[in-house]
């Protein structure tokens, strides 16, 4: 008796990372949160995720060295009450997908993505250099470790990452 958008199913599948049991549990959680009709937006809210558009906006700001725009994304994520550790985890996955899409081009496939999002990764990745994506991914992974374990103020750690990442070329 659940009406669910295909994008919402893609979100649940990606979060379950191949586990059928986790998929069922997440579907139950999302359905209970959303009520009768589950949209992608409601699935993201129920799971505490940011929309993929936010991740694309954030990395686009980093690519153009627009620290202010990137910091505004971080502020918006924080204002929305999203877990910043979860945001960094999503960012790592996002950067990995961009890297693989750039490196593998048309061979890039990710079962957790719908066709439209897969095409967006392929097209967006072409404006990046592989080495820059790799460095950003490594920096994001390190930031994720600090946010989850060491840093009592995760927003500050994420903002510091944002400033380093936005000025990456000048820092080398």
CB-facing half-sphere around the CA of 60: CA atoms within 13 A: 13
Tens of pLDDT, residues 11-58: 888 888 778 898 899 989 898 888 878 888 898 888 889 999 999 999
Separation CA 17–CA 34 (nearest Å): 22
- Size of the chain, expressed as the number of residues it contains: 172
pLDDT confidence of residue 128 = 93
User: pTM (2 decimals)?
Assistant: 0.86
Cα 155–Cα 169–Cα 67 angle in degrees, nearest 5: 35
pLDDT confidence of residue 141 = 95
C-beta neighbour count of 48 within 10 angstroms:
14
C-beta neighbour count of 30 within 10 angstroms:
24
């Amino acid at each position: 008796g659940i009406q669910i958008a295909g994008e919402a199913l893609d979100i649940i599948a990606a979060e379950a990372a191949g586990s059928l049991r986790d998929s069922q549990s997440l579907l139950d959680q999302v359905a209970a949160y959303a009520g009768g009709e589950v949209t992608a937006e409601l699935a993201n809210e129920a799971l505490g995720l940011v929309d993929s558009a936010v991740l694309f906006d954030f990395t686009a700001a980093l690519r153009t060295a627009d620290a202010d725009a990137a910091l505004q994304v971080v502020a918006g994520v924080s204002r929305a009450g999203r877990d910043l550790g979860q945001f960094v985890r999503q960012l790592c996955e996002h950067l990995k997908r961009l890297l693989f899409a750039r490196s593998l081009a048309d061979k890039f496939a990710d079962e957790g993505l719908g066709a439209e999002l897969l095409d967006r990764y392929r097209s967006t990745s072409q404006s990046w250099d592989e080495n820059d994506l790799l460095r950003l991914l490594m920096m994001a992974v390190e930031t994720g470790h600090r946010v989850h374990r060491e840093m009592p103020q995760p927003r500050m750690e994420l903002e510091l990452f944002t400033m380093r990442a936005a000025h990456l070329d000048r820092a080398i």
